[in-house]
Structure 1
Amino acid sequence: MDAEATFHLYSYYCSSCCQRIIIAAHLKGIPLEFSYIDLGQKEHRTDEYKTMLNPSASVPTLVITPHNGGEKTIIRQSMTILEYLDESFPNRAPLLPSVSAMLDRVQVRDLANIIAIDTQPTTNSRIAQRVKAIRGSLDDQVAFVKQAFTDGFQAYENLLVKQAQGGSYSFGNTVSLADVVLVPAVDQALMYRMDLDFVPNVKRVYFALKGLEAFKAADWRNQGDTPEKFRVKDF
C-alpha cells in the first residue's frame, strides 16, 4: 500500500456509514480529506456525482490517489472501504483478530453484519422515507425504524452474551470491526430517542467506545458539515 496516498472521503455528517470510515481512519492514523455531500439538498443525486463517483447515489465514497499521480481507486460501499483499509494497513489497529484465530474472526464478522446487513439497510433514511410515503405518516416511519433497531440490537445483545468475552468492547478488550459498525448505528437509534435499557450490554459497550478518541472524532455532532444547531463543543 502507498503510505503517501491521499484518502478523500465524500461524506455527510449524520451518515452512519460515513461515520464507520472516519472511526476506522482515526484508529489507523490515516488522514482524510473531505468533500461534504448534502443529502438534504439531493447533492448525491446529481448526474455529476452519480456518473463520476457513485452510481448508487449514496455516501460514503472514498477516492484513493497515489502520491505519484497514478490511477485513482474509488470505493463506494462502507464495508468494502473498511476491508480495504484493514487489508492495506494490517499492522495499524487491526479491525479483525489474527488469521490464525479464524473462529474469533468469524464471531467479529457475525456481530458486524448483524448491524451492517440486518439492521442498517432497513433503518437508513432512504428506506425510512419510503415507509413514511406509503400513508404520509411520520408515525409509520418512526415505528418501523424503532422496530428494526430493536430487532437488530436484541440479536447483537444475545450474541454478546453467548460469546462471553468479558471485555470492555464487543469482542474482548480490543476495538474491532464490530465496534466500528455498532456505534454509528446506536447514534442513529438515539436520534429516534430510543431507550437502550433493553440491551444493557450493548449500552455498556457503546458508552465505553464513545470515550475513545477515534469515536469522538467521528461523532456526527462534530463534523465539518454539521449544522451549528447540532454541534456539541465538548466531548
Structure 2
Amino acid sequence: MSLRYPFEALHLYTAPLSGCSARIRIASHLKSIPLTYHNVDFSKSEQTSSSYLSVNPNGSVPSLVVHTSSSGNFTITQSPAVLDFLESHFPAPPLLPVGKEKWKERARVIELVSLVACDIQPPQNSRIRKKLEEEFGGDGIKWARYVYERGFSVYEESLERGRKLDGEDGGRGRYSVGSEVSLADVFLVPAVQGALRVGVETERWPLLKGVVDECWKLEAFRKGGLGGHGRLVP
C-alpha cells in the first residue's frame, strides 16, 4: 500500500521489546501500511537524549511522526492515539467492528483494549519496576508477575462472558471478539509476550492462550511482536 495525500511519509520511533510499540508494528503489518522505522536504544538511554525528547517529551515509545505535504510534520505519541490515526486513515482491514449493528462487539473490543492499556501495561512498565526496586526496595519482577496474572485472569473471564453472549456458534470465535482480528488482539499478544519474559506461563488461561495461538499463526503478529521473527512465542 502506498501513502495517500496528504501524507508523504510516516516515521515510527520504536523499540524491539516495547509492547506499546509492538501494537503499532502489528497493526501496520495487518494493514500493509509503509512505515519508516527508527529504533530507540533503551540500553543506551537514547529515550532520554535531547534529540529524542524533542520528538517525544515523555521519553517513551512509540512516536509516530506524520510528514504532510501541506502542514509540515505532526507527531503522535501514545499507542492508542497512533492506532486511532491508523484506523481512521487506513481502514482496511478494520480492527474495530464497524456498523450500528456491531455496537456490542465494538464495546467489547474497546473494553479489552482498555484492560491491557490501563490495568496491565502501565503498572508493570520497566520504568515503574525500576523505581519500585531502587527507591522502595521492592521486587520488580514479582510485582510484574502479579500485575500480569491478575490482568490475564480478568481477560479470561471477559472472554468467557463474551462467548456465552455470542452463543454456541460465537463461542468458537478464534480471536478475542468473534472470528476476526481486532485491536483487542493487537494489544493482547505483546502483553502476553511481556509476561513470558518475567516467567508467567499462559496455560492457566486456556481461552486467552487459544486466542494468542491463533494470532501467532498470522505473519503480521510474528513480524510485529516483541523482538519480531518468532521470538517469545507463547
TM-score scaled by length of structure 2: 0.89
Report the equivalent of 1:105.
106
Question: Runs of at least 4 residues of structure 1 off by over 6 A?
Answer: none
Aligned to 1:228: none
**What are the superposed Cα offsets for residues 60-99 of structure 1, whole Å, 9 maximum, x if unpaired?**
0001112x36411210110110111001122x11110013
Pick which of 92-101 and 141-150 moved more. Answer: 92-101
Q: Which residue of 1 aligns with 2:167?
A: none
Partner of 1:222: 228
Q: Distance in 1 between matches of 2:111 and 2:214?
A: 21
94 and 106 in structure 1: CA distance in 2 versus 1, 3 angstrom threshold: same
Contact 1:160 1:201 in 2 (8 A): yes
Aligned residues: 221
Which residue of structure 1 lines up, in the alignment, with residue 85 of structure 2?
Answer: 84
Counterpart Cα distance in 1 of 2:184 and 2:8: 26
Aligned partner of 1:212 in structure 2 is: 218
1:94 alignment counterpart: 94
Residue in structure 2 matched with residue 154 of structure 1 by the alignment: 153
Q: Which residue of 1 aligns with 2:209?
A: 203
Cα-to-partner distance string for 1:190-226 (whole Å, 9 max, x where unaligned): 0112121211111111111011010011132337xxx
Query: Alignment RMSD, CA only?
Result: 1.8
Identity of paired residues, percent? 36
TM-score (norm 1): 0.89
- 2:188 alignment counterpart: 182
Secondary structure at the residue paired with 1:182?
Answer: helix
Query: Alignment partner for residue 57 of structure 1, among 48, 51, 59?
Result: 59
Contact 1:21 1:82 in 2 (8 A): yes
8 Å contact from structure 2 (residues 8, 67) kept in 1: yes
- Distance of 2:72 and 2:65 partners within structure 1: 10
| CA shift for structure 1 position 36 | 0.8
SS across alignment from 1:159 = helix
State the 1:4 CA deviation.
Answer: 5.4
Q: Is the 8 A contact 2:23 2:225 kept in 1?
A: no
Unmatched 5+ stretches in structure 2:
164-169
Once the two structures are TM-superposed, the CA of residue 2 in structure 1 deviates from its matched residue by 2.6
Query: What is residue 23 of structure 2 aligned with on the other side?
Result: 20
Query: For residue 150 of structure 2, what is the amino acid of its counterpart?
Result: D
Secondary structure at 1:148 match in 2: helix
| SS, match of residue 10 in structure 2 | strand
Query: Cα–Cα, structure 1 residues 3 and 153, in superposed 2: closer, same or farther, change >3 Å?
Result: farther
Does the Cα contact within 8 Å between 1:99 and 1:105 map onto a contact in 2? no
The one-letter amino acid paired with 1:189 is A
Report the equivalent of 2:73: 72
Q: Equivalent residue of 1:196, what SS? A: coil
**Equivalent residue number for residue 166 of structure 2:** none
Q: Which moved more, 1:173-182 or 1:34-43?
A: 34-43
- Mapped partners of 1:180, 1:206: distance in 2: 10
Instruction: Specify the alignment match of 1:227 in structure 2.
Output: none
Q: Structure 1 CA distance, aligned partners of 2:115 and 2:224?
A: 21
CA distance in 2, matches of 1:222, 1:203: 19
Tell me which amino acid in the other structure corresponds to 1:98: V
How far does residue 152 in structure 1 lie from its aligned partner after superposition? 0.6
1:131 and 2:132 matched:
yes
Q: How many angstroms does 1:40 deviate by?
A: 1.7
